Amino acid sequence: MAAHAELNGTTAVPHTGLNLPRLPEPADENDVLREQLEYLIGHAAERISGCSDCQRCLRVRSALLEIFSEPKPQLVRQSAATLPMAA
């Protein structure tokens, strides 16, 4: 007697659950940020050409160095109760 595979020209696959491809683990955000910073630093080290990557580098640099800039003076509003009265 012929095997089932020989009867219809197919081969049987044993049932072992879903056979889906494995997805890779997501990249670590810190590694991605570090890689992007290294790229921008390397790009800007060659020359500042004004391209979109140069503009992005300048924005990132400004944001990262913002903590070191002097704070802007805030406007102090005096309420009517604290203003000196005219004599």
**Per-residue pLDDT at 33:** 93
**Per-residue pLDDT at 37:** 92
Residue type, 41: I
Torsion, CA 29, CA 23, CA 40, CA 42, rounded to 10? 120
pLDDT digits (tens, 9 = 90+) for 24-72: 888 899 999 999 999 998 988 888 788 999 899 999 999 999 988 877 6
86 or 65: which leads in pLDDT: 65
Going by C-alpha positions, the residue among 4, 2, 26 that lies closest to residue 13 is: 4
Is residue 20 very low, low, confident or very high in pLDDT (cuts 50, 70, 90)? confident
**Per-residue pLDDT at 31:** 94
**Per-residue pLDDT at 22:** 86
